[in-house]
Amino acid sequence: MSFEQDIPEMETSIDTYDAVIVGAGFAGIYMLYELRKRGYEVKLYEAADEIGGTWQWNRYPGARCDVESMQYSYSFSDELQQEWHWTERYAPQSEILRYLHHVVNKFDLYKDIQLETRVTSLTYNEELSQWTVETNHSDRVTAKFCVLASGCLSIPRDPHFKGIEQFEGNVYSTGKWPKTTVDFSDRRVAVIGTGSSGAQCIPMIAKQASQLYVIQRTPNYVISASNKPIDNEYEKDWKSNYNQRRRQILQSQAGMFFDTENDSSIMEMTDKERFELGWKRGGFSFYTAFNGRLNDKDISGIISDCFHDKICEIVKDQNIAQALTPYDHLFGSKRPCVSAQYYETFNRDNVTLVDIRNRTIDQITPTGIQIDDEHFEVDDIVLATGFDAITGAILNINIHGRDDKALRDKWVLRPRTLLGMMISGFPNLFTITGPGSPIDLSNMIPHIEENVKWIVKAVDFLKIHEIDSIEPTIDAQNAWMDHVDMVARMNIKTTDNARYNRSSIPEKPGVAMRYTGGLHNYLKMCEQVTQDDYEKFFLL
Ligand code: FAD
Ligand code: N01
């Protein structure tokens, strides 16, 4: 007797949404809010066990924003910006994370967020004009639109140092710091990397550790933060002028408002005096002392020299001061770091600068780090070695668009987008702060908010006109990338240090990844596309 029967194939029902969003950082949270407000059915997947994105992952000591808190925040709800109280000029990570939880609670967004779920593939079905979304937990859903809010700095890059698996101590990565408190008291610690993350955590770890080795391959310019508590007057002034200032932010190159911008007294000052004023103002207010002259190479050279003098003034040992002075790029050609007491930290007896500009880390041993014939005995290693920036999170997902073409293949030579938001051959797929937009050259919150508004307008446009799909024409996309390259060639930010342009991954090609013409100009072009009724797009 056979047990085989004709069992009818089970109809597996697949949930269908208007839109799926990937990522629950600033971008995904706001995207969810806007789509929900308009009545769309939306699902958001987040790989982490908590919302917050950058501010959920980067819990290292000293992590805080370098754009002032009053401006590093959402503008979309006046009620929100009036009720929230920032405590410091630059909010610490924990406060920004608390703010994002507050936003998600206030607007009741949790119910559409699925945590601990990584989107692994997106496949476009041309007949149905919809995406099939798959995750690492075998979820399989479909959606008309997909929005990648997966972050441009969300995949930490931990270089594989030979022998690291035999290290007997702890290895921490700034970009995925544990939630539990890490105590470095009485411990010998090495921090590898002196970018923004390194510059923020080094002074903090130095205060706890018995010995700190700072392993520096390339020195950067580190502006003093001049962080301070926010006083009532300042807060009141911001809150009574919030809407006007938010508008000014959108008209600025860096996406920031500076109340010292029109200070005419600086015209009378020498460059050295201006530098001192900028240093005192701290953070990105530093720039206001030079009144927008930073694209001028001469000024960059002058500031670089003043920086050298400042480091020599603060750091007692002049050999260490020389080693901390940037040598391969002028000030302004790379995003500077902002930190408190960075250079002062190298005057501490328990801190040693290990300059490896002409050598490499040979291997990690069970008890430390071997560099040439020197062995540094340590209990803990902190990797502040950066991210697979800009394309890392997008290319981690197996994305197949029209004609089953893989994005990974399309982007082998370089990532190509229109305005950093849409990709030819990938209809109804949106990227927030994607390659080819002014990523990380300005305050990213207005950039994110404006990208979200643009996407929502496009989605509404399709709905109103009963159009199934939107996708940039290849000509429009090529023209945008040519423009990105042309602006990059004109700009000191990119001419001075080729590495500024590329992804931080050596095997990825060195091409312009960011639009360097300023947030204000970028937003004008985004607006123009909408006003032209999407003539740069195929609407099918
Ligand atoms: P993220 O906050 O990175 O969120 C992306 C989310 O997507 C992450 O939670 C990630 O887990 C999730 N994700 C990725 N892939 C998948 C997948 N396949 N499936 C499911 N989930 C996925 N910018 C400024 O303008 N000013 C600052 O002061 C500033 N400070 C910074 C400090 C640090 C330490 C870092 C690392 C960055 C900082 N930035 C700053 C840049 C910062 O990344 C942005 O300001 C902003 O927070 C980015 O928000 P986002 O939502 O686009 O991305
Ligand atoms: O990363 P980075 P990050 N051996 O790539 C070194 C934002 N952010 O996380 O320059 C030895 O800048 C590498 O050396 P080199 C901000 O947008 C903001 O610090 O390649 N060293 C470099 O020193 C920023 O731009 C804040 O020679 C190695 C460091 O690691 C972005 O995030 C705070 C190495 C990496 O620096 C990234 O900053 C934090 C190796 N094998 C982050 N590999 C704020 O303050 C790499 N390095 C708001």
List the beta strands (DSSP E) in 390-536: 398-400, 429-431, 470-472
Over residues 24-61, the pLDDT tens digits come to 999 999 999 999 999 999 999 999 999 999 999 999 99
Over residues 34-43, the pLDDT tens digits come to 999 999 999 9
> Minimal CA–CA distance to 443: which of 9, 67, 124?
67
The Cα 435–Cα 389 span in angstroms is 10
Q: Which residues line ligand 2 (CB under 6 A)?
A: 65-66, 153, 159, 192-198, 200, 217-218, 335, 338, 361, 384-387, 440, 504
405 burial via Cβ count (<10 Å: 0-12, 13-18, 19+) = middle
Over residues 109-154, the pLDDT tens digits come to 999 999 999 999 999 999 999 999 999 999 999 999 999 999 999 9
Give the pLDDT score at 503.
45
Q: Say how many CA atoms lie within 13 Å of 173 toward its Cβ.
A: 14
The Cα 131–Cα 136 span in angstroms is 17
The minimum-distance atom of ligand 2 relative to the CA of 198 is 19
pTM of the entire predicted model: 0.95
357 burial via Cβ count (<10 Å: 0-12, 13-18, 19+) = exposed
Q: Beta-carbon neighbour count of residue 401 at 10 Å?
A: 22
What is the predicted ipTM?
Answer: 0.99
Pocket test for ligand 1, best of 57, 153, 173 (most atoms within 8 A of CB): 153
Strand pairing of 363-365 and 368-371?
A: antiparallel
Residue in the structure block whose two tokens are 């423009």: 483
* Distance from residue 351's CA to the centre of ligand 2 (Å): 20
Give the pLDDT score at 474.
96
The Cα 177–Cα 172 span in angstroms is 7
> Minimal CA–CA distance to 460: which of 131, 145, 105?
145
Distance of CA 311 to the CA centre of its chain: 28
Give the pLDDT score at 440.
78
Q: Beta-carbon neighbour count of residue 524 at 10 Å?
A: 13
Confidence bin at 3 (pLDDT 50/70/90): very low
Spatial contact of 476 and 487, defined as CB atoms under 8 Å apart: no
DSSP secondary structure code for residue 157 in this structure? -
Spatial contact of 83 and 7, defined as CB atoms under 8 Å apart: no
The Cα 78–Cα 139 span in angstroms is 37
Spatial contact of 367 and 178, defined as CB atoms under 8 Å apart: no
Q: Which two tokens stand for residue 212?
A: 């700190």
389 residue type, one letter: A
Spatial contact of 316 and 347, defined as CB atoms under 8 Å apart: yes
Give the pLDDT score at 300.
86
Spatial contact of 355 and 153, defined as CB atoms under 8 Å apart: no
Q: Which ligand has the nearest atom to the CA of 69?
A: 1
Residue in the structure block whose two tokens are 């798959």: 134
The Cα 386–Cα 400 span in angstroms is 28
Q: Beta-carbon neighbour count of residue 21 at 10 Å?
A: 30
Over residues 433-464, the pLDDT tens digits come to 999 999 978 999 999 999 999 999 999 999 99
The minimum-distance atom of ligand 2 relative to the CA of 386 is 1
The Cα 132–Cα 143 span in angstroms is 7
Q: What's the whole-number mean pLDDT along residues 66-83?
A: 98
Pocket test for ligand 2, best of 385, 387, 437, 502 (most atoms within 8 A of CB): 385
Q: Beta-carbon neighbour count of residue 12 at 10 Å?
A: 6
300 residue type, one letter: S
Q: Which ligand has the nearest atom to the CA of 371?
A: 2
Give the pLDDT score at 397.
98
The Cα 492–Cα 260 span in angstroms is 24
Residue in the structure block whose two tokens are 């023209």: 479
The Cα 119–Cα 107 span in angstroms is 24
